[in-house]
Structure 1
Amino acid sequence: MARPKPAIIFIFITLFLDIFGIGVIVPVLPKLVEELQGGDLEAAAHSVGWLGALYALMQFIFSPVLGSLSDRFGRRPVILASLFGSGIDYLVLAWAPTLGWLYLARIVSGITAANFSAASAYIADVTPPEKRAAGFGMIGAAFGLGFIAGPAIGGLLGAHGLRTPFLVAAGITLLNWLYGAFVLPESLAKENRRPFTWESAHPIKALTALSRWPVVMGLAGTHFFSMLAGNIYPALWVLYTGLRYGWDSRQVGISLALVGVMAAIVQAGLAGKVIAKIGERRGVYLGLLAMAVAMFCYGAATDGWMVYVIILIGSIGGIGSPATQSMISRAVSADEQGAVQGALNSITSIAGIVAPVLWTALFSWSIAKDRAFPLPGLSFYGACAVSLAAAGLAWRAFRKAGLSSP
């Protein structure tokens, strides 16, 4: 069996590299696509959108597959295979001669990034139930740090060539794979493994299977709405702050770096302590209500300096996700953690597909030239409503499970 602390550190590094790998290509992928399409910016914009949708679709399909495979064969082989695949994928991106190779690489990227399900199950395996909220908080911290480091380093490396960031990401990922091959122990005992079935690996059936646990099904809805609201940052932040406050790329980068720093601080350090003190249910409510308040304030903020204050307040919303995941993991048996975490990652992928379309369309409608009263903050008001809906679903799930009392 795995020793909790070293194992979680490795998983943290692995998840960080997943997000870092996504972030490091953000500044250079659109330019690479444009280069491969002969400098046609309009065509490149469409291709970048399809590449993003394809990536999220692959995550949706394969998250439950990898989760169920980890329930059958263990977490270690799935995580290591995904790491190796990611490293090779970055090399393909670095040397891609045509746009078709980029599409192939994004398919592989989406599949290998679905290892979040196995990594989440690993955390559930090696941490006792009362400490899982803190363990899942490490996932949020990995997101935050990867969100800071990826775009920043990708931009710096991109100055030395559009393909340089991919080569660096490949090297780091393959080194982590090599390190894991020697030091990462298996976390799932053989007696807790279960046969692989396509029913548990099917993305739609995996979602409907959550209905076996009423509290899990309700919190899965909470998780979806929370992710839908949170995905407004990558979908709309640049457009919104540029229009409303006249921010340039430097100001956008500073603000997003602060979002990442605060997410890392809250989810890695504060979340576990707060949840241990107030309980998981209150942690869910606190996180979602803080998110709702922050989204409303973003929509109402009239000056750019206000945004930085709101980021600090909104970071408390990071408590909600680890509290939700902890409650879900406690509700299912050890041999089904991978399948359930895979279903949750599929839900995250669906939110990642829907959010850019929803929030940018609402933003475009709200600022249309023929609009009598433009309301550029409308999308953030919508995200506020979605956050409140997530809290309502959580309350309903707790009530059905007989957990509605404070």
Structure 2
Amino acid sequence: MNRNFWIIALISFINALSFTILIPVLYQYGRQFQLNDFQTSLLFAIYAISQFFATPIIGKLSDCFGRKPLLILSLAGTVVANLMAGTAASAAVLFFARFLDGITGGNASVAQAVISDVTTPETRAKAFGINGAAFGMGFILGPAISLLAQKAALNTPLGKSFGASFLVSGAIAAIALFLTIFFLPETLKTKAEKAQNIFDLGLEKLVTGLLMPKIGILLIINFLTGLTFNIFTFAFQPYFLKVLNQNSDGLALMFLLFGVLAVIMQTAGISQMTKHLQLAQILFLGLLIRSLSFVLMPIWKDIYYFIAVCVLFSLLNSVVQPMISALLSLNARPEEQGTVLGINASYLSISNGFGPVIAGLLVNQEHPESYGYPLYLAGICTFLVLGLAFVKRKDYAVKVVR
């Protein structure tokens, strides 16, 4: 791995840290504004839906104008949006801040395009694994920093507010912005042809991308895996808090556990697995363990049992997204890396929008046992996605020569 890869990996880590600081508090912050469960699910959804439309535009523009300027734009949007959210005086301002963060939030796909620019096909799966580990490292430190921010805010005008986590998130995103401006060189060697008119922004690729040989089926698999995972993600927090009767400190520690195990798997684990298994086989294994874990989680309402299942879940769940990203990158032409990975991020984003809404419709805060329903649904649907991925494997599987 060359110097530019490690620079973008560091930027990805800091960007992930900024993102993961918010994960343990977004649900609770919404409730602080007196939003009910369904309204809080819309807080998750508005970010994802706006990102769905913005990401392919950012991806295509990065193919035409370069990675660096678009990464700068995306990170600057995150800084401004999180500072707005952290000081929001009303739910309307909070919703607008989440929309702004989504509409400028193409930094993950642009970072993936940079990785595609600076790696070879033989090292790309490992590179995406390391990049995934950077996100996992964010899970390790992000929840802990979020918890510290909340504690520190008690002695400030913010008081007992989860908005402090947004302010810290914005400050950390500003560090990633600084590194991008001053240390990351442009990595795009061959720029795509510029659009003939200002309306040609790549949105048509959201549809035509599904028809691209080898790419389309991976986009569908990515959307479905994201949908089922985000049904789980929204239900996880209220289930942990209300059914298992735990507190926000324990929730932060759970995300810390997820991060530690994900980093172990995405650094040492993926490297070892790729020596013995093809990328599609690793994807199948990750989806199988994910589906089983979702179904097992709500069966027994005991915190120690729940933690044990979460350990199993965390180890193999963390290989799913790096494998999909690697397979997409290996099946795309060099000049289409930013576009394809941008479309992929868009479908993942829209799944982030639908998943919480589906979960929000299934739960009823007057009946805490209903918080287990989305977990069962996510498990069953993930198993069906595994079946689709296995049946269609010949359409996208890539045999990597070791």
Q: Within 5 Å, which residues of 2 pair with 1:259-338?
A: 259-314=258-313, 315-338=315-338
Amino acid at match of 1:180: T
CA contact (8 A) 1:288 1:388 kept: yes
**Does residue 145 of the first structure (1) align with residue 146 of the second (2)?**
no
In the TM superposition, residue 45 of structure 1 has moved relative to its aligned partner by 6.8
Who is 1:249 aligned against?
Answer: 248
Who is 1:8 aligned against?
Answer: 5
In the TM superposition, residue 233 of structure 1 has moved relative to its aligned partner by 4.3
Who is 2:230 aligned against?
Answer: 231
What is the alpha-carbon distance in structure 2 between the residues aligned to residue 137 and residue 390 of structure 1?
Answer: 22
Structure 1 or 2: more helix by fraction: 1
In the TM superposition, residue 142 of structure 1 has moved relative to its aligned partner by 3.0
**Does residue 387 of the first structure (1) align with residue 388 of the second (2)?**
no
The C-alpha deviation readout for 1:99-130, integer Å capped at 9, x for no partner, is: 55434432321123222221111111111112
Amino acid at match of 1:335: E
Q: 1:70 aligns with which of 62, 76, 79?
A: 62
CA contact (8 A) 1:289 1:317 kept: no
The C-alpha deviation readout for 1:260-296, integer Å capped at 9, x for no partner, is: 2212221233123312321112111111111112122
CA contact (8 A) 2:331 2:396 kept: no
What is the alpha-carbon distance in structure 2 between the residues aligned to residue 234 and residue 63 of structure 1?
Answer: 21
Q: Structure 2 vs 1, CA of residues 275 and 229 (structure 1 numbering), >3 Å: closer, same or farther?
A: farther
TM-score, with normalisation over the residues of structure 2?
Answer: 0.85
Who is 2:16 aligned against?
Answer: 19
Amino acid at match of 1:6: R
Which is worse superposed, 146-155 or 277-286?
146-155
TM-score, with normalisation over the residues of structure 1?
Answer: 0.84
Who is 2:214 aligned against?
Answer: 215
Q: 1:399 aligns with which of 394, 399, 402?
A: 394
CA contact (8 A) 1:69 1:196 kept: no
What is the alpha-carbon distance in structure 2 between the residues aligned to residue 129 and residue 269 of structure 1?
Answer: 19
Who is 2:344 aligned against?
Answer: 344
Which is worse superposed, 129-138 or 376-385?
376-385
What is the alpha-carbon distance in structure 2 between the residues aligned to residue 45 and residue 362 of structure 1?
Answer: 10
In structure 1, runs of 5+ residues without a counterpart are 36-40
Q: Structure 2 vs 1, CA of residues 28 and 381 (structure 1 numbering), >3 Å: closer, same or farther?
A: closer
What is the alpha-carbon distance in structure 2 between the residues aligned to residue 34 and residue 398 of structure 1?
Answer: 43
What is the alpha-carbon distance in structure 2 between the residues aligned to residue 401 and residue 234 of structure 1?
Answer: 28
Secondary structure at the aligned position of 1:85 is classed as: helix
In the TM superposition, residue 401 of structure 1 has moved relative to its aligned partner by 5.5
Q: Structure 2 vs 1, CA of residues 48 and 400 (structure 1 numbering), >3 Å: closer, same or farther?
A: closer
In the TM superposition, residue 153 of structure 1 has moved relative to its aligned partner by 1.6
CA contact (8 A) 1:287 1:321 kept: no
Which is worse superposed, 283-292 or 254-263?
254-263
Who is 2:169 aligned against?
Answer: 169
What is the alpha-carbon distance in structure 1 between the residues aligned to residue 337 and residue 100 of structure 2?
Answer: 24
Secondary structure at the aligned position of 1:265 is classed as: helix
CA contact (8 A) 1:207 1:343 kept: yes
What is the alpha-carbon distance in structure 2 between the residues aligned to residue 320 and residue 111 of structure 1?
Answer: 25
Q: Structure 2 vs 1, CA of residues 200 and 209 (structure 1 numbering), >3 Å: closer, same or farther?
A: farther
Which is worse superposed, 383-392 or 145-154?
145-154
What is the alpha-carbon distance in structure 2 between the residues aligned to residue 302 and residue 171 of structure 1?
Answer: 38
In the TM superposition, residue 183 of structure 1 has moved relative to its aligned partner by 1.6
**Does residue 110 of the first structure (1) align with residue 102 of the second (2)?**
yes
Amino acid at match of 1:125: D
What is the alpha-carbon distance in structure 1 between the residues aligned to residue 145 and residue 356 of structure 2?
Answer: 24
Q: Structure 2 vs 1, CA of residues 237 and 195 (structure 1 numbering), >3 Å: closer, same or farther?
A: same
In the TM superposition, residue 258 of structure 1 has moved relative to its aligned partner by 1.0
Q: Structure 2 vs 1, CA of residues 94 and 215 (structure 1 numbering), >3 Å: closer, same or farther?
A: same
Q: 1:81 aligns with which of 73, 76, 84?
A: 73
CA contact (8 A) 2:293 2:310 kept: yes
Q: Structure 2 vs 1, CA of residues 313 and 99 (structure 1 numbering), >3 Å: closer, same or farther?
A: closer
Amino acid at match of 1:172: I
Who is 1:38 aligned against?
Answer: none
What is the alpha-carbon distance in structure 1 between the residues aligned to residue 247 and residue 175 of structure 2?
Answer: 36
In the TM superposition, residue 238 of structure 1 has moved relative to its aligned partner by 2.5
In the TM superposition, residue 330 of structure 1 has moved relative to its aligned partner by 0.9
Corresponding pairs, count: 388
Secondary structure at the aligned position of 2:104 is classed as: helix
Who is 1:60 aligned against?
Answer: 52
Amino acid at match of 2:240: T
**Does residue 201 of the first structure (1) align with residue 207 of the second (2)?**
no
CA contact (8 A) 1:27 1:158 kept: no
What is the alpha-carbon distance in structure 2 between the residues aligned to residue 268 and residue 243 of structure 1?
Answer: 34
Amino acid at match of 2:34: E
What is the alpha-carbon distance in structure 2 between the residues aligned to residue 184 and residue 233 of structure 1?
Answer: 36
In the TM superposition, residue 379 of structure 1 has moved relative to its aligned partner by 2.5
CA contact (8 A) 2:227 2:354 kept: yes
How much is the aligned-residue C-alpha RMSD, in angstroms? 3.1
Amino acid at match of 1:345: A
Secondary structure at the aligned position of 2:122 is classed as: helix
CA contact (8 A) 1:275 1:323 kept: no
What is the alpha-carbon distance in structure 2 between the residues aligned to residue 387 and residue 272 of structure 1?
Answer: 25
The C-alpha deviation readout for 1:113-170, integer Å capped at 9, x for no partner, is: 2222211111111111122112222343233232333333223223324354444333
Q: 1:158 aligns with which of 112, 134, 150?
A: 150
CA contact (8 A) 1:131 1:272 kept: no
In the TM superposition, residue 97 of structure 1 has moved relative to its aligned partner by 5.7
In structure 2, runs of 5+ residues without a counterpart are none
Q: Structure 2 vs 1, CA of residues 248 and 211 (structure 1 numbering), >3 Å: closer, same or farther?
A: closer
The C-alpha deviation readout for 1:159-190, integer Å capped at 9, x for no partner, is: 3243544443333332332232222111110x
CA contact (8 A) 1:294 1:313 kept: yes
